[in-house]
Amino acid sequence: MIGETGYSLNRRKNTYVTPFPTRNPERANFEAGFSPVMAAVLRVIGNESKYYERNDQAVEEIIENGKFDQEPSKAAFANYLKNEMKEIENGNVYKFEQLKYIPFTETSKEAKGELMYFHFFYDLFIRQNIEEIQEIFSAVESQDLLSTIMNLTMVEQANFDEPAQYKQLFPFMQKQFVEDLRVLATNPTFLITNLEEFFVQYCYFALTQMIVQTNRYTKFNAEKPFPVVLFLNTESTQKWRDGYRYGYKLLKEEFRYFYAHEHVLNILGANTFADNGNWFYHDYATFFKEQGPEAEQQFVQSIYQWIEEVMAVRIDDVTPIPYKHQTLEEAFRDLVELVRLQVKDEVYSRYTKAFDMFLRRFYRKNGGSLGSLLAVSPKQLLTMIAVCVGPKNSRLELNYLWAELEKRGVFLDDQTKEEVVHLLDQLNYLDKKSDSGDAQYVKAIL
């Protein structure tokens, strides 16, 4: 049953849902792209702190202890080293191990927003597979002199040992991520230049599915992703297209009042039977299916009792809803609606802007009179096609490409598919159909 706790709009006490802040200064603006988040993930994978901080004193010691013929040589080396470090910290890397030296944004408040994304991504895709992912990355590391020096210039901090915050809601997605990462690592050069796009796509996939599926309450589907349709950002668009109806417009509506779910899931999490946190609506449905209808009805009744004895007492404009043997889903929906009305419009606005910032930075296409649209860039698309097809000398029948992309969150309508075929043909990644009518194949990009 729901515990007898005081009512407050409290998120992240029992359940972590999204990595979005409700305060503007803490919002990640992604001016440096997703690379600060990616770098923190790579540091932790390498058994280091999630933070990167340069030890300038160590830099000076390296320069002073170096053996130089003359002072001009020493000065030239010092200048080279500092310039290279600055370039790497700005994201201009050419070695895999250099990717981890990109710091969080210097603005401490915005860095908090990046940290939220780090925890979300790490918990969903890395934590449960850390040893396997370490093994994958160890095969692409090639320690050189500059990387050795960079390691010496890092301020020593404690290794990452924080407990999980977010729940892995989509096991199939996590499994696919690791498989794709292994394929991507077969081409270290491609990995270095496209790892950020790869991380962004899986983050987008997890966020959009979590939002859409949570809005389905007990009908949350953890195995079959809901199609959120993307345009290719180089193509023309029309209002009748699926990308307009089931893309940005759909997500905007799905997320409009999503903040209410954050609080309801935390209210429900103050129950007396769940040993661990991070339960979503479908988790309760699964639990009570095993416990039986009598236990489920007792829990439903306790929700309405909590509304009457706690929520309505503390908030004047809340009218209790009488218990009339409602279903579990009806109880959840009633509670969400009551909480939704208590959240101020400005909070919804700041919260939704945090998600919108992510979409605008990585998936926005200006549709003119159609407004903002959801679109994937050719580079993002080719990164995901690369892992769909597989390593060098692999090929994939074109007809199967679309299903493989959908496993990775890339849903396209028929018109966009034609644009993709044209793009692949232009780049010579497509085997032409023979006169005998054989199927077309997409060639390996890696």
The more confident residue out of 323 and 92 is: 323
pLDDT digits over 245-298, tens only?
Answer: 999 999 999 999 999 999 999 999 988 888 788 999 999 999 999 999 999 999
Amino acid identity for residue 369 in this structure: S
The more confident residue out of 183 and 139 is: 183
Phi, psi of 217 (to 5 degrees): 55, -120
Give the list of residues 6+ apart from residue 443 with CB closer than 8 angstroms, or none. 389, 395, 428, 429, 430, 431
Phi, psi of 390 (to 5 degrees): 115, -175
pLDDT at 437 over 60: no
pLDDT of residue 433: 66
Task: Calculate mean pLDDT across residues 229-247.
Answer: 96
- Whether 57 contacts 152, CB under 8 Å: no
Name the DSSP letter for residue 212. H
pLDDT at 7 over 70: no
What's the CA gap between 19 and 21, in Å, rounded?
Answer: 7
- Whether 419 contacts 399, CB under 8 Å: no
User: 124 is written with which tokens?
Assistant: 């969903």
Instruction: Return the top range by mean pLDDT from 101-110, 314-323, 335-344.
Output: 335-344
Task: Calculate mean pLDDT across residues 132-157.
Answer: 79
Closest CA to 65 of 53, 54, 77: 77
pLDDT of residue 435: 53
Mean pLDDT of the chain: 90
Owner of token pair 């999980």: 164
Phi, psi of 374 (to 5 degrees): -95, 125
* pLDDT interval class at 61 (50, 70, 90): confident
- Whether 238 contacts 245, CB under 8 Å: no
Q: Is the full-model pTM beyond 0.85?
A: yes
pLDDT of residue 374: 97
User: 385 is written with which tokens?
Assistant: 């096609």
pLDDT digits over 315-337, tens only?
Answer: 888 889 999 999 999 999 999 99
- Whether 261 contacts 336, CB under 8 Å: yes
pLDDT digits over 348-393, tens only?
Answer: 999 999 999 999 999 999 999 999 999 999 999 999 999 999 999 9
User: 362 is written with which tokens?
Assistant: 């990585």
What's the CA gap between 22 and 11, in Å, rounded?
Answer: 11
What's the CA gap between 213 and 215, in Å, rounded?
Answer: 5
User: 358 is written with which tokens?
Assistant: 């992510």
pLDDT of residue 119: 98
pLDDT of residue 25: 83
pLDDT digits over 8-53, tens only?
Answer: 567 888 899 999 998 888 899 999 999 999 999 999 999 999 998 8
Give the list of residues 6+ apart from residue 208 with CB closer than 8 angstroms, or none. 228, 251, 409
pLDDT of residue 345: 93
pLDDT of residue 8: 58
pLDDT of residue 52: 87
Task: Calculate mean pLDDT across residues 167-175.
Answer: 96
pLDDT of residue 94: 82
Listed by start position, the domains of the chain span 24-223
The more confident residue out of 126 and 57 is: 126
Give the list of residues 6+ apart from residue 441 with CB closer than 8 angstroms, or none. 395, 396, 397, 398, 430, 431
pLDDT at 162 over 80: yes
Q: Note the helical H segments in 142-248.
A: 145-152, 171-184, 188-214, 242-243
* pLDDT interval class at 71 (50, 70, 90): confident
DSSP states of 336-379: HHHHHHHS-HHHHHHHHHHHHHHHHHHHEEE-GGG-EEEEE-HH
The more confident residue out of 61 and 300 is: 300
Phi, psi of 104 (to 5 degrees): -65, 160
User: 159 is written with which tokens?
Assistant: 């290794």
User: 378 is written with which tokens?
Assistant: 């050719």
